[in-house]
Amino acid sequence: MTTTDPKEFKRWMGCLPPANQDRLVLIPLVRGGKEPDVKFGESWNDPKYHLSPQDALDRLGAGKNVGAVGTKDTIAILDIERQNVQKAQAHIPQNIVDTLIGKTRNGGLHLYYLNGGVPNRDLTEDGKKLIEIRADNKYVVAPGSFVPPDEEGGGGLYHVVNERPPLPLVPSDLPWLVETAEVQPQPTEPIDFGGEYMSLPCIRVLFEVPLSHGRKVHAAKLLAIAWVKDKGTPDGFASAAKALAAFQDHPDFRMDWRQVNAWAMSVHRNKREWNCGEAITLFRENGIFPPCSGCPMKEVA
């Protein structure tokens, strides 16, 4: 099999409760890839890009891919890479294993559940990600899609391997999820989002979406550049640094606000300029479509 297969999508959809199917968010992905198939500068979050199940079937029939979005009121997906499947099994209780499961292009697994309040969260071990929960506006490639496999092997087709109704999933079902949950401390001062750069939509995203990659360097640097460009000085940046560190902190990868704060002085001293390309790369590495729609910046990555 070297192409898409609508029959696999039908098998997958047939396992979902009708009420869940009606609310399911499906999005267009590029042919042979995982990236959203939307106009540059626009977001797959825009409802105009959301697909009905029939739209998705037609798209797969034309050889194009489809994404399934985890949301608070529909599905949550445990995303496990092929090399982590064996270790990950020890962290998934037996009573929630027999759920709807899809296999990825390289032999990884997508375990689908009805979302009962589960957030986005990663389970890491020795600094390496074992399981990623995609439950709140994060997507996976849907069954029936095709992406050529890489050197890890696999057939490339995303397909169903356990054709069962998705089980409900609540935070208490995953002990490690409860153990790593933390209440984020609130910043002591409000963040000043005023100014040409601090008001950019990509700066807002840094305080709205937890990042898995690039928090300490790229996110901190972009925030510092925006602050210094608007204020002309690193003075006062500490409040924004504390807020970013508090929001992006992770139990396994602590984020020290003082390290974030140091970026302001570096940016000021080295006269660093704003770089849209770096922001776009940061978001794409985290599975977030860059919020470029309506952005006043003219730079193109």
Q: In this model, does residue 301 exceed pLDDT 60?
A: no
Average pLDDT over every residue of 17-25: 88
* Angle (deg, nearest 10), helices 238-248 and 257-270: 130
For the ranges 53-62, 134-143, 257-266, the lowest mean pLDDT is seen at 257-266
Distance from C-alpha of 297 to C-alpha of 125, rounded to nearest angstrom: 39
- Highest-confidence range of 21-35, 114-128, 237-251, by mean pLDDT? 21-35
d(CA 103, CA 152): 14
**Per-residue pLDDT at 294:** 64
pLDDT top residue among 220 and 153:
220
DSSP 95: G
Q: Which region among 192-196, 206-210, 247-251, 282-286 has the lowest average model confidence (pLDDT)?
A: 247-251
Is-contact 181 171, C-beta < 8 A?
A: yes
- Sign of dihedral through CA atoms 5, 74, 209, 252? negative
As a whole number of angstroms, the distance between CA 116 and CA 20 comes to 12
Cα–Cα distance between 246 and 116 in angstroms, integer?
Answer: 26
- 122: part of which helix (H) or strand (E)? strand 121-125
- DSSP-derived letter for residue 152 is T
**Tokens matching residue 49:** 């890009």
DSSP state of 250: B
Report whether 49 contacts 38 (CB < 8 A): yes
The predicted structure's pLDDT at residue 183: 44
Average pLDDT over residues 156-182: 87
Boundaries of every domain in the chain:
6-180, 201-285
- Tens-digit pLDDT profile for residues 52-104: 999 999 999 999 999 999 998 999 999 999 999 999 999 999 999 999 999 99
What is the three-class DSSP state of 145? coil
For residue 73 the two structure tokens come to 């009121």
pLDDT of residue 101: 98
The bridge status of strand 75-80 relative to strand 109-115 is antiparallel
Mean of pLDDT values over 15-37: 92
| Residues linked to residue 76 through DSSP beta bridges, in sequence order | 113
Burial class (CB in 10 A: 0-12, 13-18, 19+), 294: exposed
- Indicate the burial class of 20 (C-beta count within 10 angstroms; 0-12, 13-18, 19 or more): middle
> What pLDDT is stored for residue 128 in this prediction?
82
CATH classification code of 6-180: 3.30.2250
**pLDDT of amino acid 110:** 98
Q: Residue 185: which pLDDT band, with cuts at 50, 70 and 90? A: very low
Stretch 121-135: mean pLDDT, rounded? Answer: 89
Confidence of residue 184 (pLDDT cuts 50, 70, 90): very low
* pLDDT on residue 215: 87
Q: Is the pLDDT score of 189 beyond 70?
A: no
As a whole number, the mean pLDDT across the chain is: 88
Distance in angstroms (rounded) separating the CA atoms of residues 164 and 231:
56
